[in-house]
A and B are shown apart, each in its own frame.
Chain A
Amino acid sequence: MTAFLIILIAALFVIALWQISKIVQLGKSPEANGADGEIANDADNNRQGKYMLYFVIAMYVMMIACFIGYQDYFLPDAASAHGAEYDSLLLLTTVVIMIVQFLTQALLHWFSYKYRGRKGQKALFYADNDRLEFIWTAIPVVVLAGLILWGLFSWNDIMDVDKHEDPLVVEVYAYQFGWKVRYSGADNTLGDANVRFIEGANILGIDPTDADGKDDMVATELHLPVNRPVVFNFRSQDVLHSAYMPHFRAQMNVVPGMVTKFSFTPTVTSEDYKSTEFMTEKVRKINEIRRQKSKELEAAGDVALDPYEFEYYLLCNKICGASHYNMQMKIVVESEEDYNKWLETQTTFETTLANAEN
């Protein structure tokens, strides 16, 4: 591999030298007679103006190609209640900005081409037009006002964590470099906690004297019952982290010294999400890539990659140290019964402490 790279770089270097020599030739262009040779003349204007036109056409082709070629990069439909609204707002905003993008880039480059300099061409002395300027101040004002209003209503709605009746209260706990979940147990109230209580089996620093904490349960996977609102309390033990759950359109920073909150209602179970057309196709494609890669790995004597099966995940999205890139947790959304069944297998804090003493 290294040998191959060295050869490759040597080859690139030779090509670079060759190109540089060509550039040097270009630098000694014959038309250069005196300093005027370095100022754009009609021929330059003509050529560069045309390039501007080609450039904008190529740019349109690239933009369209990106939207078509990368359409499965967009996240699939949201798996949370507020996510549908988020997706509509994103779609509307994207459509608006792409329309503006297409129009303004067209004008900019078309004018650069159309009015490219020619000898004898007279520019129009046109310094001001209050009406025009009023129009293009007013249009953004109106469009943005619409987007802002919709955005603000959604924002207020999403960020109001107290709006739910009988939500499930869950703590998501971050540390370098992993996540833990604390369920609040039968009382649906999390016990007080502080890093100063961390000791032995009490890895999350739950206050052992607080009665609310006795039935709390600490888990390494986030299980959520479908269609029940969840209020997340985020806590970090060391540095800033960010709990990012892209498929639920949810994100909140996790800040040491304070509890941050976010809430949403998961609406699609893991099983249903996996079997959507989009996800089946996406996973098939990913597994094809992994198979190809495994072949190469096996040929080189390495271990092959496991085939991939989609699971919701939570990942860290705020730089937090060396292993920031691998700080993730699996999320499972399941039916109420499955969730309760799973919860029964978890140990309460009281039991954990008792076991530790034995």
Chain B
Amino acid sequence: MGQVIAAATEHGHDDGHHHHKETFVTKYIFSTDHKMIAKQYLITGLIMGAIGILMSVLMRMQIANPEQPNVIFEALLGKWAPGGVMDPNIYLALVTIHGTIMVFFVLTAGLSGTFSNFLIPLQIGARDMASGFLNMVSYWLFFLSSAIMISSLFVELGPAAAGWTIYPPLSAVAKAMPGSGMGMTLWLVSMAIFIASSLLGSLNYVVTVINMRTKGMSMTRLPLTIWAFFVTAIIGVVSFPVLFAAALLLIMDRSFGTSFFLSDIYIKGEVLAHQGGSPVLFEHLFWFLGHPEVYIVLLPALGITSEIIATNSRKPIFGYRAMVASILAIAFLSTIVWGHHMFVSGMNPFLGSVFTFTTLLIAIPSAVKAFNYITTLWKGNLQLNPAMLFSIGLVSTFITGGLTGIILGDSTLDINVHDTYFVVAHFHLVMGISALYGLFAGVYHWFPKMFNKMMNKNLGYAHFWLTAIGAYGVFFPMHFIGMAGLPRRYYTNTNFPYFDDLADTNQLITYFAIATALAQLIFVYNFVKSIFYGKKAPANPWKSNTLEWTTGDKHIHGNWDGPIPHVHRWAYDYSKVNENGEYVIPGQDYTPQHIPLQDGEEEMNH
């Protein structure tokens, strides 16, 4: 495969590479170049992210001042905020769409889609993805599903509002809530298309990594980014079809009178004909995707951080093999822990014991990863670029959020914190904030490669510190209101005087949330401005070892103007010294992968 591609481009090389003339449409819209597709993913993901974050701010404003009129609600929600007071149904819709957008559209497509596309061919030494066409189709299906999801906000009875987990019967019976009509139909259609997009993307990533590595790029020389994307894609291929099945069966129950998930329902004075189905079955199917999804979101972020921490520490990543093994272990275990979302769902308690066991097992590779990151920093020469700060921030929130998982993963302890704000705090830190930090780290680090421009570092620093303070300000206190037994997804807490003393803390959280959301504007400004007015980037600004920095600054379809470089070493020969204590290449503390072994140098036996 690799040879065929090489031969084809060899031919292209003769007549100056751009022998097929690129029009605006083929270059910027229906592009098959993985770099352009990555940028399309990134920008679509960022726009969806802005919408998702805005929704969370609206929710927080409602929680801080429940049932109070607010001009912002009136302006943005229109008929759903009569007199400026938010309607309870639209609160649930915001909860639902915020979750859906952030998990799938931002952190799956925006993060993994962007960086898998961008980095896989560049870091393994390939001209493009195995199938550029399918890659393009994948992006446009994603765009279509985004458009449908956004359009569902404008249907008459409102968008889906049954929570991002869309448990039936609430999501299946249109009489149960207004959002379960047209809004839910559009949600399901959008997600079905999203799954198709994700599968096409994932298959492409898997095939590309397996078949198209350049000469010398053995699996054990792959940068950890690629390992993470590769394994993420495999988890996606394994688990997304199950969500597709669940969505399909739900559509059948909704529209064609089947009873997969419904039984014995009496609603609005009427008994429904459904008999014999079980909502618990839906929960199993949903979480069979839903839990691996957490790792689909997180692993790419961890891969990105591995690369950035090693580069900016000027040290090899500590325990490369252990890191790969952890990724594999996490991937395997992630498919057998879904039941920890269902300890009190009514499933057999014995299953609960099994899932507790597997869930706490997954803490072990996660702990290994955290310790290895910390050891990589030890005795380094840390270059504290914005990408590095976000990577360190990720390790911090990953630890803080991961530790509370030990409480939630224990079936006994879960009984009393299940579905409280404790859960909200836990998963926002461990997968939301951590994965977003990974996304930001990736953008700051690879922006020079994407756009040939540098982002402004001082704005990057301001962005990081405001976000870091805000994220802990929002989510650390949130654990405590969860410990008080405050349920999530409540439109207002005022009907329980017992929670009256939590109101101050809820306001505090809202202030932090608004401030953190505003801090993201710094990023937007920096991002947009740098694309157009940033300083021209040097070829290898971070003095990195991986292949993407060897392409030169010409942005061509095919990546390397000349032949593809061959690889002679792993990606982490930072500060490697020979017997005399001199750097392997004198005066340079890094040795890129395409540099052959020097005289008397021993290859790391990793």
Q: Which of A121, A155, A239, A318 has the most CB of B within 10 A?
A: A239
What residue of chain A has the Cβ atom nearest to residue B315's Cβ? A123
| Bound: A35/B535 CA distance, A | 5
User: Quick check: A176 and B267 within 8 Å, CB to CB?
Assistant: yes
User: Quick check: A238 and B169 within 8 Å, CB to CB?
Assistant: yes
User: Quick check: A257 and B262 within 8 Å, CB to CB?
Assistant: yes
User: Quick check: A108 and B176 within 8 Å, CB to CB?
Assistant: no
User: Quick check: B88 and A48 within 8 Å, CB to CB?
Assistant: no
Asked whether A348 is an interface residue with its Cβ less than 8 Å from the other chain, the reply is: no
| Bound: A33/B461 CA distance, A | 18
User: Quick check: B319 and A255 within 8 Å, CB to CB?
Assistant: no
CB-CB < 8 A to B255: which residues of A?
Answer: none
CB-CB < 8 A to B459: which residues of A?
Answer: 23, 26-27
| Bound: A290/B496 CA distance, A | 12
Known: A155-B411, A251-B418. A35 touches B267 (CB 8 A): no
User: Quick check: B377 and A115 within 8 Å, CB to CB?
Assistant: yes
Known: A40-B385, A48-B384, A127-B604. A255 touches B280 (CB 8 A): yes
User: Quick check: B487 and A108 within 8 Å, CB to CB?
Assistant: no
CB-CB < 8 A to B271: which residues of A?
Answer: 195-196, 198
CB-CB < 8 A to A164: which residues of B?
Answer: none
CB-CB < 8 A to B461: which residues of A?
Answer: 44, 48
| Bound: A100/B170 CA distance, A | 40
User: Quick check: A51 and B176 within 8 Å, CB to CB?
Assistant: no
CB-CB < 8 A to B121: which residues of A?
Answer: none
User: Quick check: A152 and B357 within 8 Å, CB to CB?
Assistant: yes
CB-CB < 8 A to A320: which residues of B?
Answer: 170
Give which listed residue, B315, B357, B496, B577, contacts A328 with CB less than 8 A.
Answer: B496
Asked whether A341 is an interface residue with its Cβ less than 8 Å from the other chain, the reply is: no
Asked whether B525 is an interface residue with its Cβ less than 8 Å from the other chain, the reply is: yes
User: Quick check: A325 and B263 within 8 Å, CB to CB?
Assistant: no
- Beta-carbon contacts under 8 Å, B454-511 to A: 454-459, 461-462, 465, 468-469, 472-473, 476-477, 479-481, 483-485, 487, 489-493, 495-498, 500-503, 505
CB-CB < 8 A to A290: which residues of B?
Answer: 497, 500
User: Quick check: B381 and A118 within 8 Å, CB to CB?
Assistant: yes
User: Quick check: B400 and A105 within 8 Å, CB to CB?
Assistant: yes
Which stretch in B20-28, B102-110, B364-372, B433-441 binds the other chain? B364-372
Known: A123-B314, A257-B277. A319 touches B497 (CB 8 A): no
What residue of chain B has the Cβ atom nearest to residue A34's Cβ? B535
| Bound: A257/B412 CA distance, A | 25
Known: A105-B399, A112-B392, A123-B315. A6 touches B71 (CB 8 A): yes
User: Quick check: A40 and B383 within 8 Å, CB to CB?
Assistant: yes
User: Quick check: A319 and B92 within 8 Å, CB to CB?
Assistant: yes
- Beta-carbon contacts under 8 Å, B254-284 to A: 262-267, 271, 276-280
Asked whether B9 is an interface residue with its Cβ less than 8 Å from the other chain, the reply is: no
Known: A238-B266, A251-B415, A290-B500. A136 touches B92 (CB 8 A): no
What residue of chain A has the Cβ atom nearest to residue B514's Cβ? A12
What residue of chain B has the Cβ atom nearest to residue A141's Cβ? B364
User: Quick check: A144 and B92 within 8 Å, CB to CB?
Assistant: no
Asked whether A20 is an interface residue with its Cβ less than 8 Å from the other chain, the reply is: yes
Q: Please, what's the 1-or-0 string for A145-158, where 1 marks a CB less than 8 Å from any CB in chain B?
A: 00110011011101
| Bound: A45/B386 CA distance, A | 11
What residue of chain A has the Cβ atom nearest to residue B70's Cβ? A5
- Beta-carbon contacts under 8 Å, A116-132 to B: 116-118, 121-129, 132
Asked whether A267 is an interface residue with its Cβ less than 8 Å from the other chain, the reply is: no
Min distance, Cβ A286 to any Cβ of chain B, angstroms = 5
- Beta-carbon contacts under 8 Å, B378-414 to A: 378-385, 388-389, 392, 395-396, 399-400, 403-404, 406-407, 410-413
Give which listed residue, A66, A239, A249, A282, contacts B169 with CB less than 8 A.
Answer: A239
Asked whether A358 is an interface residue with its Cβ less than 8 Å from the other chain, the reply is: no
What residue of chain A has the Cβ atom nearest to residue B464's Cβ? A48
Known: A20-B525, A52-B392, A176-B176. A308 touches B497 (CB 8 A): yes
CB-CB < 8 A to B88: which residues of A?
Answer: 322-325
User: Quick check: A89 and B412 within 8 Å, CB to CB?
Assistant: yes
Asked whether A107 is an interface residue with its Cβ less than 8 Å from the other chain, the reply is: yes
CB-CB < 8 A to B203: which residues of A?
Answer: none
Min distance, Cβ B294 to any Cβ of chain A, angstroms = 19
Min distance, Cβ A155 to any Cβ of chain B, angstroms = 5
Asked whether A270 is an interface residue with its Cβ less than 8 Å from the other chain, the reply is: no
| Bound: A37/B360 CA distance, A | 46
Min distance, Cβ B66 to any Cβ of chain A, angstroms = 9
Give which listed residue, A24, A55, A315, A317, contacts B418 with CB less than 8 A.
Answer: A317
User: Quick check: B457 and A86 within 8 Å, CB to CB?
Assistant: no
What residue of chain B has the Cβ atom nearest to residue A247's Cβ? B485
Q: Which of B382, B481, B537, B572 has the most CB of A within 10 A?
A: B382
User: Quick check: B344 and A242 within 8 Å, CB to CB?
Assistant: yes
User: Quick check: A253 and B346 within 8 Å, CB to CB?
Assistant: yes
What residue of chain B has the Cβ atom nearest to residue A71's Cβ? B480
Asked whether A209 is an interface residue with its Cβ less than 8 Å from the other chain, the reply is: no
CB-CB < 8 A to B262: which residues of A?
Answer: 256-257
Asked whether B11 is an interface residue with its Cβ less than 8 Å from the other chain, the reply is: no
| Bound: A289/B497 CA distance, A | 10
Which stretch in A90-98, A179-187, A211-219, A222-230 binds the other chain? A90-98
CB-CB < 8 A to B490: which residues of A?
Answer: 324-325
Asked whether B375 is an interface residue with its Cβ less than 8 Å from the other chain, the reply is: yes
CB-CB < 8 A to A9: which residues of B?
Answer: 71-72
User: Quick check: B410 and A151 within 8 Å, CB to CB?
Assistant: yes
CB-CB < 8 A to B117: which residues of A?
Answer: none
CB-CB < 8 A to B501: which residues of A?
Answer: 72-73, 282, 285-286, 289
Please list 8 pairs of residues, one from A and one from B, whose beta carbons are closer than 8 Å in the complex, sorted by A's number: A2-B84, A5-B70, A52-B392, A72-B501, A123-B314, A123-B315, A249-B415, A285-B501
Known contacts A38-B456, A249-B415; 6 additional CB pairs below 8 A are A75-B484, A101-B399, A111-B374, A128-B320, A316-B487, A320-B170
List the 8 shortest-distance A-B pairs measured between CB atoms, nearest first. Answer: A257-B263, A246-B485, A159-B349, A260-B346, A195-B266, A48-B384, A38-B454, A308-B497
Which positions in A face B, CB cutoff 8 Å? 1-2, 5-6, 9, 16, 20, 23-24, 26-27, 29, 32, 34-40, 44-45, 48-49, 51-52, 55, 58-59, 62-63, 66, 70, 72-75, 86, 89-90, 93-94, 96-97, 100-101, 104-105, 107-109, 111-112, 115-118, 121-129, 132-133, 136-137, 140-141, 144, 147-148, 151-152, 154-156, 158-160, 175-176, 194-196, 198, 205, 234, 237-240, 242, 244, 246, 249-253, 255-258, 260, 282, 285-286, 289-290, 305, 308, 310, 313, 315-326, 328
Which positions in B face A, CB cutoff 8 Å? 68-72, 84, 88-89, 92, 95, 162-163, 167-170, 173, 176-177, 262-267, 271, 276-280, 313-322, 344-346, 349, 352-353, 356-357, 360-361, 363-364, 367-368, 370-375, 377-385, 388-389, 392, 395-396, 399-400, 403-404, 406-407, 410-413, 415-416, 418-420, 454-459, 461-462, 465, 468-469, 472-473, 476-477, 479-481, 483-485, 487, 489-493, 495-498, 500-503, 505, 518, 521-522, 525-526, 529, 534-538, 541-542, 572, 574-577, 589, 604, 606
